[in-house]
Structure 1
Amino acid sequence: MIPVEGVENQTIAVLGLGRSGKATAAALKAGGARVIAWDDGVDTREAAAADGWEIVDLTRDAGWDGVSALITSPGIPHLYPKPHPVIEKAMRLGVPVDNDIGLFFRSFATDEWNEFDRIPRVIAVTGSNGKSTTTALIHHILEECGRPTQMGGNIGTGVLSLNPAEDGEVVVLELSSYQTDLARALTPDVAVFTNLSPDHLDRHSGLGGYFAAKRRLFAEGGPDRAVVGVDEIEGLYLADQLSMGPSDDRVIRISSETKLDGPGWSVFAKKGFLSEYRKGRQAASIDLREVKGLPGAHNHQNACAAYAACRAVGLAPREIEAAFHSFSGLPHRSQTVAEIGGVRYVNDSKATNVDAAAKALQAFDRIRWIAGGLGKEGGITALQPFLGRVTKAYLIGHSARDFALEIGQTPYEIAETMEQAVAHAAAEAEPGETVLLAPAAASFDQYPNFEKRGEHFVTLVEGLRPAEG
């Protein structure tokens, strides 16, 4: 746990008592604060009270006597579509509102660092797509290279539940727009912007507000190095705003679409090769085509972002390249589960929409495609340009028959269940083909979440292995 600095003998209110809220309350208490808490859920409040937390009704004015700050969980709206009543009350009373990310950045550095040989550093990753994979890949590379490291934020451990830093440690954080939008302190050493596509638009009142929330990671504290994906106009704009000139190597531009070989510092992937350029000269090249944990152009962009971030903290190209090859990918995101009889089995259960499924379909050739579930508005007709790689589709779940009408001339069967889809795909697959779970649909018709769907696929694939003996 990281005790919160600067709160001793203050009364701090915490709104939301989920995982991050409880961790925040504990870190505030460890920092010497009196913590009062509120949650809209009666059962949650009662459970927290049973655990010893002081529950105060923050919807009433009387609950605010002596409160110095309100710390809110990231999922609770503070501005759009409208602020939570407790947050609005805090703002009307002039009580500062913050979140656990802001508390982390103001509390991470301690006097103990004066005795360290190497100052700890923070790499923070944001963006629309790929930020979880990029965060996990950076953490994996650091581990493989023997650097002390922790991973947290929107992935893994809550930021205030991390351990105090060790000498030379690098903390890697995934930060969502919900987290960056409100945090009062945002001071990473290296900040990464992967890309931007429309998401959470109601929460940010449109694409401009969504981008503004991401941009705060770079604008509020000014990282020493900024790694910026420039394949969208927003990334181009951000890189330009941060740079003092064409050769300013504080900004590392990355791309999975365009060769970047100007006078600055850039990392890009073309035709499966990652290249690093500095001052107009190539500094390194890595063949990504044989990195099984990072298939497809979208993962090559993740590789560029992770490579650049690791170079920014002093790792060598060959160290990073070796670590790429031992990265197995995140569960349910283009995860290679097994190769059995020359057939590759890939779990991309996280591909719950058309955009994500399109990326998965572009990553492989000769695909036996398992798709379906609870279809989303608009269907999957937009996937037709990517179906030339599909040998056959095996359609499951509620929308199986709707999907069958939307995939043109692609051969298919209505498999109904995951068991039948995996069994039939495995029986018909030939060496060199890939059995790909990329549903392009939500899971809720047959599974509680995409993780359970992916786990079921993995279990079925493991059952295909020939018995030893």
Structure 2
Amino acid sequence: MIPVTCFVDQKVAVLGLGRSGLATARALLAGGAVPVVWDDSAEAREAAQAEGFEISDLGRNGAFDGVAALITSPGIPHLYPEPNRVIAAALKAGVPVDNDIGLFFRSFANDDWDGFDTTPRVIAVTGSNGKSTTTALIHHILEVAGRPCQMAGNIGRGVLDIDPGIDGEVIVLELSSYQTELARSLTPDIAVFTNLSPDHLDRHHGMGGYFAAKRRLFAEGGPDRAVIGVDEVEGQFLAGQMAEGPQDDRVIRISSGQKLEGFGWSVFVRKGFLSEWRKGRQVASIDLRAIAGLPGAHNHQNACAAYAAVRSLGIGPKVIEQALRSFGGLPHRSQLVGERDGVRFVNDSKATNVDSAAKALQAFARIRWIAGGMGKEGGIKGLVPYLGAVAKAYLIGHSARDFALELGDTPYELCETMAVAVERAAAEAEAGDVVLLAPAAASFDQYPNFEKRGDDFCACVKVSLGG
């Protein structure tokens, strides 16, 4: 646990008692604060009360009298589409609003660091797609290199739930736009921006607000090193803002597809080969084509981001290459879950939007595509240019019929359920085919989250394979 010591003997309100909320309350208590907590869920309140926390309805009149700060869970809206009633009351009362990420950056350093040979470092990763894989890949490389490390944030443990930093340790954080948007302190040593595509637009009131939330990770704290994907105009803009000029190697530009030779430091992939360039010359190269845990251009971009981040720490290319080859990938993200008679079954349930599904569809040569669920605004029209490798689509869930109308000449079958889709795709697949779950939709019509949807796919594949 990271004790939060900046509110000693002060009352601090905590809104939302999920994983991060309870960890925040514990960290505040450990640091000498007096937490008062609230959640609209009676079950969550009971769990907090069982730990001894004071329950207080933060929506009542006068709830913020004598309160030093409100710490809110990331998923609770504070501005758009409209502020939560409790946050609105705090803002009206002039009470500062923060989240656990802000508290982490204010609390991570402690007096023990004075005796360390190497100060602990923090790498923070944000972006629309690839955050989790990039974060896990950085963590994996650090482990292979023998560096002490922990992983937290939007993946793994809550940021305040990790252990205090030790000599030479690296903390790797995945941060969503919900987390970066509100944190009052954002001071990573290395900040990583993977890419940007439309998502969470209602929460951020459009693409401008969404990009602004991501940009705060770089603008608020001024990281020592910025690793920035420049395959979209927003990344190019951000790199331009952070660098003093093209030779400023505090900014490492990364790309999956573009040659980036005219900069002080860049890492890019062309035709499956990762190249590192510094001051006008190539200094390292890695063949990514045969690395099973990183298929497709989108994973090659993740490899570039992770490579650049750990190179900033001085880890050598040969160690990085060894780690890339042993990386098994994350569940629900281009996860190979089975193979039979030359047919592979790949779970990319995390592909919940058009952009991430497009990347998955470009990763394989011949696809039996399982898609559908709770469709998002715009449907799947944006995927039409990427359907060339799709032999047939097997559509499930609420938006199956809507998706069918947008497939053009691509053959399809309305399957409704995952079990039927997997059974039909497996029966029709031929050697060399990939049965790919890349839904391009949310899961909430049939599943509580994308993880449960991916688990169901894996279970259905196991049945299909006779396991």
TM-score, normalised to structure 1, is: 0.94
Corresponding residue of 1:24: 24
Q: How does 1:44-63 map to 2 (within 5 A)?
A: 44-63=44-63
**Separation (CA, whole Å) in 1 of partners of 2:203 and 2:405:** 34
* Farther off after superposition, 195-204 or 269-278: 195-204
**Separation (CA, whole Å) in 1 of partners of 2:446 and 2:85:** 36
Deviation for aligned residue 1:86: 2.7
Corresponding residue of 1:193: 193
Q: Structure 1, residues 408-455: CA drift from partner, whole Å, max 9, x if none?
A: 333333444333332333333332221111223333443333222211
Contact 2:5-2:33 at 8 Å conserved across structures = no
- Ranges in structure 2 where 5+ consecutive residues have no aligned partner: none
**Percent identity, aligned pairs only?**
73
Corresponding residue of 1:355: 355
Alpha carbons of structure 1 residues 311 and 44: separation in structure 2 relative to 1, 3 Å: same
* Farther off after superposition, 361-370 or 273-282: 361-370
Q: Structure 1, residues 18-72: CA drift from partner, whole Å, max 9, x if none?
A: 2211110000000011111222334433443343211223334533333222211
Alpha carbons of structure 1 residues 417 and 180: separation in structure 2 relative to 1, 3 Å: closer
Alpha carbons of structure 1 residues 13 and 239: separation in structure 2 relative to 1, 3 Å: same
Corresponding residue of 1:365: 365
Alpha carbons of structure 1 residues 24 and 454: separation in structure 2 relative to 1, 3 Å: same
Corresponding residue of 1:451: 451
Q: Structure 1, residues 256-305: CA drift from partner, whole Å, max 9, x if none?
A: 13110114100111121111100000011111111111111111111111
SS in 2 for 1:9: coil
Contact 1:256-1:301 at 8 Å conserved across structures = yes
* Farther off after superposition, 175-184 or 421-430: 421-430
Corresponding residue of 2:212: 212
1:80 aligns with 2:72: no
Q: Structure 1, residues 133-176: CA drift from partner, whole Å, max 9, x if none?
A: 11111111111222111111111110000111122111100111
Q: How does 1:137-216 map to 2 (within 5 A)?
A: 137-216=137-216
Corresponding residue of 2:396: 396
Contact 1:398-1:445 at 8 Å conserved across structures = yes
Corresponding residue of 1:276: 276
- Ranges in structure 1 where 5+ consecutive residues have no aligned partner: none
Corresponding residue of 2:410: 410
Q: Structure 1, residues 163-203: CA drift from partner, whole Å, max 9, x if none?
A: 11122111100111111112111111100011122222222
**Separation (CA, whole Å) in 2 of partners of 1:263 and 1:417:** 50
Deviation for aligned residue 1:466: 6.7
Q: How does 1:185-264 map to 2 (within 5 A)?
A: 185-264=185-264
Alpha carbons of structure 1 residues 459 and 264: separation in structure 2 relative to 1, 3 Å: same
SS in 2 for 1:413: strand
Letter in 1 for 2:276: E
**Separation (CA, whole Å) in 1 of partners of 2:466 and 2:54:** 57
**Separation (CA, whole Å) in 2 of partners of 1:412 and 1:85:** 45
Letter in 2 for 1:184: R
Corresponding residue of 1:117: 117
SS in 2 for 1:235: helix
* Farther off after superposition, 101-110 or 337-346: 337-346
Q: Structure 1, residues 232-272: CA drift from partner, whole Å, max 9, x if none?
A: 22211111111122211111011113110114100111121
Alpha carbons of structure 1 residues 199 and 422: separation in structure 2 relative to 1, 3 Å: closer
Deviation for aligned residue 1:464: 4.6
Alpha carbons of structure 1 residues 211 and 443: separation in structure 2 relative to 1, 3 Å: closer
Q: Structure 1, residues 197-239: CA drift from partner, whole Å, max 9, x if none?
A: 2222222222222222111111111111000111122211111
* Farther off after superposition, 262-271 or 22-31: 262-271
SS in 1 for 2:182: coil
Corresponding residue of 2:286: 286
RMSD: 2.0
**Separation (CA, whole Å) in 1 of partners of 2:334 and 2:192:** 21
Letter in 2 for 1:278: R
Corresponding residue of 2:313: 313
**Separation (CA, whole Å) in 2 of partners of 1:177 and 1:18:** 18
1:434 aligns with 2:437: no
Corresponding residue of 1:38: 38
Alpha carbons of structure 1 residues 210 and 441: separation in structure 2 relative to 1, 3 Å: closer
Corresponding residue of 2:265: 265
**Separation (CA, whole Å) in 1 of partners of 2:195 and 2:122:** 20
Contact 1:328-1:336 at 8 Å conserved across structures = no
Letter in 2 for 1:66: G
SS in 2 for 1:64: coil
Q: Structure 1, residues 342-391: CA drift from partner, whole Å, max 9, x if none?
A: 22211112223333222111110011222233444444343332222122
TM-score, normalised to structure 2, is: 0.94
* Farther off after superposition, 120-129 or 5-14: 5-14
SS in 2 for 1:63: coil
**Separation (CA, whole Å) in 2 of partners of 1:239 and 1:388:** 33
* Farther off after superposition, 313-322 or 388-397: 388-397
**Separation (CA, whole Å) in 2 of partners of 1:361 and 1:42:** 43
**Separation (CA, whole Å) in 2 of partners of 1:107 and 1:99:** 13
**Separation (CA, whole Å) in 2 of partners of 1:91 and 1:372:** 40
Deviation for aligned residue 1:10: 1.7
**Separation (CA, whole Å) in 2 of partners of 1:172 and 1:250:** 19
Alpha carbons of structure 1 residues 431 and 70: separation in structure 2 relative to 1, 3 Å: same
Corresponding residue of 1:2: 2
Contact 1:142-1:149 at 8 Å conserved across structures = yes
Letter in 1 for 2:358: A
Equivalent pairs counted in the alignment come to 467
Deviation for aligned residue 1:401: 4.3
